[in-house]
Amino acid sequence: MGELSRLTLAEARDRLRARDFTAAELTDDCLAAAEAAAVLNAFTPPTPDLARAQAAAADARLAKGDAPDLCGVPLGIKDLFCVEGAPAQAASRILEGFRPPYESTVTARLRERGAVMLGKLNMDEFAMGSSTETSAFGPAISPWRRRGDAAPLTPGGSSGGSAAAVAADLCLGATGTDTGGSIRQPAAFTGIVGVKPTYGRCSRWGIVAFASSLDQAGPMAKSVTDAAILLSAMAGHDPKDSTSANRPDEDFAAGLKGDLRGRRIGVPREYRVDGMPAEIEALWAKGSDMLRDAGAEIVEISLPHTKYALPAYYVIAPAEASSNLARYDGVRYGRRARIGAGDGVTELYERTRAEGFGREVQRRIMVGAYVLSAGFYDAYYLRAQKVRTLIKRDFEQAFDAGVDAILTPATPSAAFGIGDMADADPVQMYLNDVFTVTVNLAGLPGVSVPAGLDAAGLPLGLQLIGRPWDEKGMLDAAFALERACGFAAKPGQWW
């Protein structure tokens, strides 16, 4: 078990086409690995019948020689995506029992290309969180542990189940979504690659909405090449999402060379935040050196409004969430609370939402309701939207000055322990997003690349931020970084 599930997506694709093994064998190996790793709580759980049926169909296509890149490749799908025939709960009690009668555009694209879905993956409730601890399914557990220490660590969040499943080799790749860092932070915590595409690159149709102007789906994978292959399948125009960009499909994996000659990489001085561990500072400097060695010119840049990104985000995202989550009312789908004989529809709404939403989701809905309410809208929401304009302008000015991509740390620390933040102020958890959230506010593409281990043996990631629609250039820089870092560490198998 695990010999096949440990392969990269690109290796599996080539060997499936060479008929070294079948999609059915590969799928069974992943299902066995997933079953043996139940303690990681990455899946919600696997859906083996669906997976085996898809694997059989993929084998038939492979036999005919009609095999797109993903044909027969077993993937995990974040529970935020609606997949026909499987429950979709967004890791929330309020969607208990919901079976979507439709398929998200991103998963439909994966299906059309022959991908096999092993099951839905754990996440923070409605993607609100940085540790998967807000999940109604209980937290996902990282396959990584500190050296000589059995304390369970978080795989990050909100796409923590996706990160744990990829890092533990339970699948060959996974989908995630990223509203403020929810792909890149868990990727960094677990030593894998995570890509948040340009806003509008992947259709949001059929993905449970959190903050619609910030949400983007993206791949989580074992290498930059794998992430590029997955992104090529996930991305593309969709008339069903009015913010989906009308651009032709691209092959992001073609032509990855890691040759950065003539390219300029910016290093923003405002990302040198107070209290940043020396290890992260050193890793960042090492990353700059590596990109310079690959031919890039490294320049210091300024993104002066960076420090206002987190407060702006935590106005805008809850405001959008409070609107989006208004639909969960116990009437059309999901859980409905019992009410008394004399109670009316308002009590039905209020009790259903009190029982169905976890504490962090309730908090964000209330913050959103507050900042949008009469008398406070201008002071909070409108002001945050203006600050968002300034944050985007900072990036535009850097790109206009000739910068091709920007290098930053992915997270302000390595993974923390499950329960470590239980007594912390909610704002402490929000600080996890400090390096990633600007990218969502500005609609840019970002990628987290595993770059090294800290003193306790935990992965650390670096982030590259690209120009809008230049995923290709960004991924080429990521490819150079990946090659130079040579990150090959894997978690020891304790489960």
Site for other proteins in 409-468 (CB under 8 A): 425-427, 430, 441-443, 468
Among residues 221 and 442, whose Cβ is nearest to other proteins?
442
Q: How far is the CB of 376 from other proteins (least distance, A)?
A: 9
Q: How far is the CB of 367 from other proteins (least distance, A)?
A: 6
Among residues 266 and 356, whose Cβ is nearest to other proteins?
356
Number of residues in contact with other proteins, rule: CB under 8 A?
73
Q: Is 336 in the site for other proteins (CB under 8 A)?
A: yes
**Overall size of the chain counted in residues:** 495
Q: Is 93 in the site for other proteins (CB under 8 A)?
A: no
The residue behind tokens 């990104």 is 309
Among residues 25 and 270, whose Cβ is nearest to other proteins?
270
Q: Is 145 in the site for other proteins (CB under 8 A)?
A: no
Q: Is 242 in the site for other proteins (CB under 8 A)?
A: yes
- Contact residue for other proteins among 366, 455, 486, 493 (CB under 8 A): 366
Instruction: For the segment 380-409, give every residue that binds other proteins (CB under 8 A).
Output: 380, 382-390, 392
Q: Which stretch binds other proteins (CB under 8 A): 142-150, 168-176, 196-204, 250-258?
A: 196-204
Q: How far is the CB of 379 from other proteins (least distance, A)?
A: 8
Q: How far is the CB of 351 from other proteins (least distance, A)?
A: 5
- Contact residue for other proteins among 66, 112, 147, 239 (CB under 8 A): 239
Nearest 5°: phi and psi at 81? -90, 135
CB 90 within 8 A of CB 135: no
Q: How far is the CB of 37 from other proteins (least distance, A)?
A: 31
Q: How far is the CB of 385 from other proteins (least distance, A)?
A: 3
Q: How far is the CB of 384 from other proteins (least distance, A)?
A: 6
Among residues 383 and 483, whose Cβ is nearest to other proteins?
383
- Contact residue for other proteins among 6, 52, 93, 99 (CB under 8 A): 99
Amino acid letter at 415? A
Among residues 21 and 377, whose Cβ is nearest to other proteins?
377
Active site residues: 78, 158, 182
Q: What 3-state DSSP class applies to 244?
A: coil
Q: Is 305 in the site for other proteins (CB under 8 A)?
A: yes
Q: How far is the CB of 468 from other proteins (least distance, A)?
A: 7
- The binding track of 154-193 with respect to other proteins, each residue x by CB under 8 A or -, is ----------------------------------------
Among residues 27 and 322, whose Cβ is nearest to other proteins?
322
Q: Is 65 in the site for other proteins (CB under 8 A)?
A: no
- Contact residue for other proteins among 19, 66, 97, 455 (CB under 8 A): 97
Residue 193's contacts (CB-CB under 8 Å, 6 or more residues apart) are 187, 219, 220, 221, 222, 223, 224, 226, 227, 447, 448, 449, 450, 478, 482
Q: Copy the structure tokens of residue 179.
A: 């509203």
Residue 426's contacts (CB-CB under 8 Å, 6 or more residues apart) are 360, 363
- Contact residue for other proteins among 149, 373, 486, 495 (CB under 8 A): 373
Instruction: For the segment 244-273, give every residue that binds other proteins (CB under 8 A).
Output: 245-246
- Contact residue for other proteins among 200, 218, 452, 466 (CB under 8 A): 200
Q: Is 354 in the site for other proteins (CB under 8 A)?
A: yes
**170 vs 284: CA distance, rounded Å:** 30
- Contact residue for other proteins among 46, 206, 334, 452 (CB under 8 A): 334
Q: Is 333 in the site for other proteins (CB under 8 A)?
A: yes
Residue 122's contacts (CB-CB under 8 Å, 6 or more residues apart) are 41, 42, 43, 44, 79, 91, 132, 135, 137, 139, 140, 160, 161, 164
Q: Is 39 in the site for other proteins (CB under 8 A)?
A: no
**266 vs 262: CA distance, rounded Å:** 13
- Contact residue for other proteins among 3, 251, 347, 402 (CB under 8 A): 347
